Structure 1
């Protein structure tokens, strides 16, 4: 861990408080500003696409279209300091015990970010594994509890090949190539020791941190990705019937699309599965006014999930309908995605699974 002076650290905290005050002053357009309480024995689980958390160090193995240092307009890809500070402050506000992150450049970039902005948050356990994605981004987990059973599946054949066309008339860059994970999911098991659990017994929770393929016409690709993850889950549940499983991250799809239906058909439960009658804005997760970031829990974990604590943390975003390509981001901007979180009671509770009410 890099050492920072006390003065520098205090300045970082002060800047974060200023960002929080600015965000609260201007209000939020989507999500909510209120984070529920977290009682003793609860684990707050979260996911957050932090939008290109790149550092300012050049990776010589990446160049051209996928250069990690410059984009095609020769603009530095490194995430601006103000946005990194805003991301950190949102993580502080959320105070998750375990947070899955999407669009991380590398383990080193994440550790540098943690040590600069979140050194006092207790995220002792960090996993971020290069999965060979051309742009260099990957999924990651920061946790206050030990992590085990860590695995990724880069280049895993998902069956079939990419079609010739992208949409009605476009040419598919990957036509004829085998379909693989665009960004491999990251699997970890969170291990809560007995002295910190609600039951006084060890508690375990297996996570799949996901970032499904983006793009309107890549639904076939997302469908393949989610179907394979469902296979993994079914195999684990067959071998360990009492296992707790969550799939969380950026799905690049909404709840009524095939990628989500694959999970629902396998018994996974959406935190906001009670969409009917629920106010729209507090549950939207992307500045395009969509809900594309999810936490899904299996039947076992649903018994321990406090659905009353589900939250989409609102953060500053552009005005409704604004084009991000030519409209500057507002003050306090961190990402085009909102963090999503929920409390888990760390005590196994067999029985009929709970559902959102």
Structure 2
């Protein structure tokens, strides 16, 4: 019996407007800077109109990407609330897919912007096997001290009794045709932009590493230490870190080159260490694993994998030939594709917006032993 499991950061599925750009130009959208806006009330009207127009295009493209992934269970990141998710599923996904994701789960986490992780599930797989929800558990309130994970590398920004997860580790138990599967839905600490000479990724690495260690602790505590890797679990989500990247040089006129780089320290080493879990996307060719294009002008450009489906050792062994799909049709035209990977973009995709998301959905079909 096969089940398709996916993950997708759908980028700011919100139900509120942000008007702070009137007083802080760094928060304002670039298009509004083209206009002379006399007062805050006028600014709010224009911002509402801009967001409504852009959001309709964006969410059509987001829905197209999810429809293309065709997952039975999909983990989502950056969802404000179940109300927002229900409105999106009914108003956009339903029009493209018909009856689909009737089961939706979200528990409010710790993010200061109010974006959470969520999971949507069909009632049955494509083969007609029932997808039975068994239970859900949040770990949003877990502290460093509880798990013994506080160390000196965290001391500049954290305290022992602070919460570990910047969002949550959402633990969901299901049965696929009667067989158990546990899903850990994540959105790890983001990589900050470089500031004051500090590399943002390096500066935030201790917290992401602590989050990853906490996830592994949760799994091993539940399933029994070294025996945990043999159980049926997947770790899905936006990990905000990578173990390799494709460094981009050149230009559209001259031609781009894509140079693989490996060996940097990563918070995700916690999962791959001693074969605890397998990054399923690593089964794809080395230059075809990316899910996001990162650029700071021409100073720094690379493609990397931020979106992961980690398979337990048991699931990986039971599915030796399963290779994930990465849905890139919703990427904006500014994203350079390595040779042979270009795809037909969804209708109305722009240079940098509208787009389905800055991330790509990842989906894999698995047999549950």
Segments of structure 1 that go 5 or more residues without pairing to the other structure are 1-40, 66-70, 166-171, 194-201, 322-327, 349-357
Q: Which runs of 4+ in 1 moved over 4 A?
A: 74-79, 161-165, 174-177, 239-242, 328-332
**SS state at 2:267 partner:** helix
Structure 1 position 339 matched with structure 2 position 361: yes
Label 1:307 to 1:295 Cα distance change in 2 as closer, same or farther (>3 A).
farther
> Partner residue of 2:109?
131
Structure 1 position 98 matched with structure 2 position 73: yes
How far residue 306 of structure 1 moved from its aligned partner, in angstroms, is 5.5
Structure 1 position 108 matched with structure 2 position 117: no
Alignment match of 1:188 (pick from 167, 172, 185): 172
TM-score normalized with structure 1 length = 0.69
**SS state at 1:181 partner:** coil
How far apart are the structure 2 equivalents of 1:188 and 1:294? 17
> Partner residue of 2:189?
213
How far residue 274 of structure 1 moved from its aligned partner, in angstroms, is 5.0
**SS state at 1:178 partner:** coil
How far residue 332 of structure 1 moved from its aligned partner, in angstroms, is 5.7
Alignment match of 1:228 (pick from 199, 214, 225): 214
How far residue 146 of structure 1 moved from its aligned partner, in angstroms, is 2.7
How far residue 237 of structure 1 moved from its aligned partner, in angstroms, is 2.3
Cα deviation digits, residues 192-250 of structure 1 (max 9, x gap)? 23xxxxxxxx1121010111001222100001000011011112221886530110111
Label 1:47 to 1:149 Cα distance change in 2 as closer, same or farther (>3 A).
same
> Partner residue of 2:307?
293
How far apart are the structure 2 equivalents of 1:88 and 1:121? 14
> Partner residue of 2:11?
51
> Partner residue of 2:252?
none
**SS state at 1:284 partner:** coil
**SS state at 2:315 partner:** helix
Alignment match of 1:270 (pick from 279, 284, 308): 279
Contact (CA 8 Å) 1:287, 1:317: kept in 2 or not?
Answer: no
Structure 1 position 118 matched with structure 2 position 78: no
How far residue 110 of structure 1 moved from its aligned partner, in angstroms, is 0.5
How far residue 259 of structure 1 moved from its aligned partner, in angstroms, is 1.6
Segments of structure 2 that go 5 or more residues without pairing to the other structure are 29-43, 123-130, 192-200, 244-263, 295-302, 337-349
Label 1:176 to 1:228 Cα distance change in 2 as closer, same or farther (>3 A).
closer
> Partner residue of 1:317?
332
How far residue 90 of structure 1 moved from its aligned partner, in angstroms, is 0.8
> Partner residue of 1:143?
121
How far residue 152 of structure 1 moved from its aligned partner, in angstroms, is 1.0
> Partner residue of 2:259?
none
Greater share of residues in helix: 2
How far residue 178 of structure 1 moved from its aligned partner, in angstroms, is 2.9
How far residue 109 of structure 1 moved from its aligned partner, in angstroms, is 0.6
Alignment match of 1:154 (pick from 140, 146, 150): 140
How far residue 164 of structure 1 moved from its aligned partner, in angstroms, is 6.3
**SS state at 2:76 partner:** strand
How far apart are the structure 2 equivalents of 1:244 and 1:265? 18
Contact (CA 8 Å) 2:187, 2:240: kept in 1 or not?
Answer: yes
Further displaced range: 228-237 or 78-87? 78-87
Number of paired residues?
A: 274
Q: Aligned-residue CA RMSD in angstroms? A: 2.9
